[in-house]
Structure 1
């Protein structure tokens, strides 16, 4: 296959895998620990990755089956070979020069030839061609004219996962027998990755109560309050953390038409400490809304926090109505998602925590760990006893709660 055709075919398969999931380059890149621009270059054919592992993780994340992953790997191998610079021509073996004479090898059955008086003995070169995973030309004693071995890439660049470089000579055979494995030339067999969970989710964690009320803790005086939609960027720039409460919205849906049953929602606190001695900055106070959404309430000050489902309330009509709490088990599909709103509160703890969602579908079950948008744990810190400030929009300055008329 021509060079450009091999690369384009690989890029087409990567684009097809990404299209199965529907998430953006940035969202998938965060899961794979690569930048969005890097992932885009793989899909456009501008770059062929050095290692197949990142593409294989993308395929697993997007729900590709074993046959599709195998075809993707074969295409990557062709594209990698096409992008690799040609191997340099081997240098000719130098002819014999002046020096001590070499002792000819003795024929079988004849008496050994005495070593010359100069003391230069001929040392046989190790048989590197018999070592699994090693090419002729690797290591001392190999000839310069050794060609590429079938099943291994030619040239100087080799796949990191395609060589066994820890053993030499007969030690490789002994190690293989001792460990009970068979070392084959070329790519080492890796265990099959478990299939991905049959559900996907997105997270928003910088929500404000009714779209306006929220408190952050910050070590230094922050900029003026942002619009709610810019809260994450503002808090990151100010080094601020959620004060007293974190509101998290998790949108969950299945990957296909088959139903995925959500069995339960749990809270896992991974770190506790005393709240930092920072001041509390209130975005706005006293705002209200006609609808209180149903939610899960979490008391992070308890030794073992539990997510408790609570009803919501809609007061927008002439007669208010209750919004029933989410009741597990609860089924979702690709066409019928569910939103889970979690309100986690603390007065005395600087808590880092995750959500864990239990699921079952088509004879399988499992638990997915849900963290912040960047994969880190959520963080909520108490504000008890901390100086509190509100923003004076007329004076364009932060002032104490008593000066602003805010209390509590």
Structure 2
């Protein structure tokens, strides 16, 4: 009996065991020791413990940092959308363009007997490449520009960069025709490559006999509202290598695109003093004939 009374006096005031204390009371933090057993699951961390884990430096998380997709990649494996930092313009460039569709000169370092008949304008590129031909006196560059979306893009400036200047090339000038009539409905710019600082000036055009006044930049383009620019660069005194820069602005962003001949500068050479031929009839045969210029 004395042993029993001693045991009861060691219990809390109401005689209950200590593990029955309310977990919400202060007694747990002050006197209660946590009980663990092999069958009890580990507690799930709450939002607070997650925040602490993310800021811990002892063991970095294995989960990679999420980044924006690359311009040519799509998170779903499909076609990627254009990034906001991309150029909002699409353009094509053609440099084998003849005045009014039929008049142009090339400088070729071959005698007339080794030069084939002139091609139609649409085949001028392969023909000129095969002959090693260089634009004589002028180069016409046609630039078709439009936006990639319905959002307007403003073309703000067109600049000329001359990167090479030498004496005109030797050889023979071959005229593609004696001249012809036609129409010109593009936005037309003229460049004098003989100037120390060539500038692209807007000039008037013609559409089936109706004059088109010169309209200076800026122009506005979109996917449904393209523009066609025709730049005519001329020289009498040099063999010039050059390219163009087109400035744009859209939704608070600005940029510049380079317009060149597939990664190379355009080349234009003067023809003053060179023998000049056109393809005509002589003694009943079609052949290269001196123009008498």
Q: TM over 0.5, yes or no? A: yes
Map 1:359-378 onto structure 2 (within 5 A): 359-372=248-261, 374-378=262-266
- The CA deviation at 1:327 is 2.4
Matched-pair contact (CA < 8 Å) for 1:294–1:324? no
Rounded Cα–Cα distance in structure 2 between residues aligned with 1:206 and 1:214: 9
Q: CA 1:328–1:293 in structure 2 vs 1: closer, same or farther (change >3 Å)?
A: closer
The structure 2 residue matched to 1:269, chosen from 152, 162, 185, is 162
Which residue of structure 2 lines up, in the alignment, with residue 66 of structure 1?
68
The structure in which a higher percent of residues are helix is 1
When the two chains are superposed, the root-mean-square deviation of aligned CA atoms in Å is 2.3
Which is higher, the Rg of structure 1 or of structure 2?
A: 2
Q: Which has the higher contact order (CA 8 A, sep 6+)?
A: 2
Across the two proteins, how many residue pairs are aligned to each other?
A: 217
In structure 2, the partner of 1:213 is 103
Could you tell me how far apart the structure 1 residues matched to 2:71 and 2:176 are? 49
Alpha-carbon shift at residue 352 of structure 1 (Å): 0.7
1:97-125 per-position Cα deviation (integer Å, ceiling 9, x unaligned) = xxxxxxxxxxxxxxxxxxxxxxxxxxxxx
Matched, 1:383 2:274: no
CA displacement 1:145-174 (0-9 Å, x = unmatched): xxxxxxxxxxxxxxxxxxxxxxxxxxxxxx
Does structure 1 residue 345 correspond to structure 2 residue 234?
Answer: yes
Q: CA deviation at 1:328?
A: 1.5
Q: Unpaired runs of 5+ in structure 1?
A: 1-64, 76-192
Q: Distance in 1 between matches of 2:104 and 2:224?
A: 33
- Select the residue among 328, 336, 358 that pairs with 2:225: 336
**CA distance, structure 1, for counterparts of residue 214 and residue 245 of structure 2:** 18
CA shift for structure 1 position 336: 0.5
Where does 1:119-198 land on structure 2 (aligned, <5 Å)?
A: 195-198=85-88
Distance 2:99 2:173 in 1: 16
> Structure 1 or 2: larger strand share?
2
TM-score with structure 1 setting the length: 0.50
Equivalent residues in 2 for 1:4-153, closer than 5 Å: 66-67=68-69, 69=71, 72=74
- CA-CA distance at 1:324 after TM superposition: 2.2
Query: 1:322–1:70: structure 2 CA closer, same or farther, 3 Å change rule?
Result: closer
Is 1:252 the counterpart of 2:145 in the alignment?
yes
By how many angstroms is 1:206 displaced?
A: 0.5
TM-score normalised according to structure 2 size:
0.69
- Asked whether the 8 Å contact 2:186–2:229 carries over to 1, the reply is no
1:234 match: secondary structure:
helix
- C-alpha separation in 2, matches of 1:359 and 1:298: 20
Q: CA deviation at 1:290?
A: 4.9
Query: In the alignment, is the contact (CA less than 8 A) between 1:297 and 1:342 conserved in 2?
Result: yes
Question: In structure 1, how many angstroms separate the alpha carbons of the residues matched to 2:72 and 2:280?
Answer: 61
Determine helix, strand or coil for the equivalent of 2:225: coil
**Alpha-carbon distance, 1:197 to partner:** 1.0
The correspondence for 1:224, drawn from 114, 117, 125, is 117
- Please tell me whether residue 285 in structure 1 is matched to residue 175 in structure 2: no
Q: Distance between the aligned counterparts of 1:231 and 1:250, measured in 2?
A: 17
Match of 2:290 in 1: 400
Tell me what 2:128 maps to: 235
